[in-house]
Amino acid sequence: MIEVQNVSKRFGSFTALHDVSFRVEAGEVYGLLGENGAGKTTLMRMMATILRPTQGEIEIEGFSVTKEPEVVRRRIGILFGGDVGLYSRLTARENIAYFGSLYGLQKAQIAARIEHLSRVFEMEPFLDRPVGPFSRGMRQKVAIARTLVHDPAVILLDEPTTGLDVTAANLFRRMIRMLQEEGKTILFSSHNMTEIDKLCKRIALVHRGRLHYAGSVDGLRERYGMHDLDELFMAVVEGSDR
């Protein structure tokens, strides 16, 4: 469960987020939709305890990100899109194991988790090869496995499919559905409504730091009487700019 309560974030005199509230239920794949600069990454960094809200509160599984950051960190896994920052000379297994050791997991626990993750994500063929020459898709698998090594209940995915080709993006969506079947709570950000619609029934739509909608995609379609997703996005954003 992720609860965002009246969160604002200022950087100096610039307000990146204004009084944002929404709630992601346990076991849900929830979409965070917004254009460049909307505040998606800032919001996720606050959830991950990397940044502090200027105002308001965020709770992960009932724990405050400001009052109990260590407890929160053990319960979340975060994956930022773009360059995922693997150590190219280390093998896939070593990259994942390194993260496990940072979380204080024991060797046997790490080995068992890697076994499980490499089976689920079909990484066996390249698990013991250095990641340097890996394709984007292979890297993304290693990166998500690394994000999940400590078996977090809540997974934050910041634009994870941006830059992936159709095959890799499809595979990534399949991985997310598998995680949902395991009962994980997943927040998935994208600037692309179509992408969000493939995975998420409910979304928060953020535009220039303000929440414009939180609720079901179907509810949004009903409210505006439109089906086309890009038109819907524009309708929500323009409707509230007026």
Ligand X SMILES: Nc1ncnc2c1ncn2[C@@H]1O[C@H](COP(=O)(O)OP(=O)(O)OP(=O)(O)O)[C@@H](O)[C@H]1O
**Which residue ranges make up the site for ligand X (CB under 6 A)?**
11, 14, 16, 34, 36-42, 191
Smallest gap, in angstroms, from Cβ of residue 158 to Mg ion? 6
160 binds, among ligand X, Mg ion, none (CB under 5 to 8 A by kind): none
144 binds, among ligand X, Mg ion, none (CB under 5 to 8 A by kind): none
Whichever of 16 and 84 has its CB closer to ligand X, that residue is: 16
Q: Which of residues 4-43 bind Mg ion (CB under 5 A)?
A: 40-41
Whichever of 127 and 204 has its CB closer to ligand X, that residue is: 204
User: Looking at 25-112, which runs of residues are DSSP E strands?
Assistant: 29-33, 55-60, 63-64, 76-80
Structure-block tokens of residue 147: 């994000």
Smallest gap, in angstroms, from Cβ of residue 17 to Mg ion? 12
Whichever of 127 and 211 has its CB closer to Mg ion, that residue is: 211
User: Looking at 37-149, which runs of residues are DSSP E strands?
Assistant: 55-60, 63-64, 76-80
Smallest gap, in angstroms, from Cβ of residue 14 to ligand X? 6
- For position 185 contacting Mg ion by CB under 5 A, the verdict is no
23 binds, among Mg ion, ligand X, none (CB under 5 to 8 A by kind): none
Residue nearest to Mg ion (CB): 41
193 binds, among ligand X, Mg ion, none (CB under 5 to 8 A by kind): none
Cα separation, 78 vs 143, whole angstroms: 10
Smallest gap, in angstroms, from Cβ of residue 144 to ligand X? 19
Cα separation, 145 vs 207, whole angstroms: 31
Cβ contacts of 193 within 8 Å, gap of 6 or more: 33, 229, 230, 232, 233
Supply the Cα-derived Rg of the chain in whole angstroms: 18
Structure-block tokens of residue 40: 């998606």
Q: Are strands 202-207 and 29-33 parallel, antiparallel or unpaired?
A: parallel
Smallest gap, in angstroms, from Cβ of residue 164 to ligand X? 16
Smallest gap, in angstroms, from Cβ of residue 226 to ligand X? 23
Kindly report the CA angle at 206 between 197 and 5, in degrees rounded to 5? 110
Cα separation, 60 vs 72, whole angstroms: 6
Whichever of 126 and 233 has its CB closer to ligand X, that residue is: 233
Cα separation, 200 vs 228, whole angstroms: 16
Whichever of 40 and 146 has its CB closer to ligand X, that residue is: 40
Whichever of 2 and 123 has its CB closer to ligand X, that residue is: 2
Q: Which residues of this chain interact with Mg ion, rule CB under 5 A?
A: 40-41
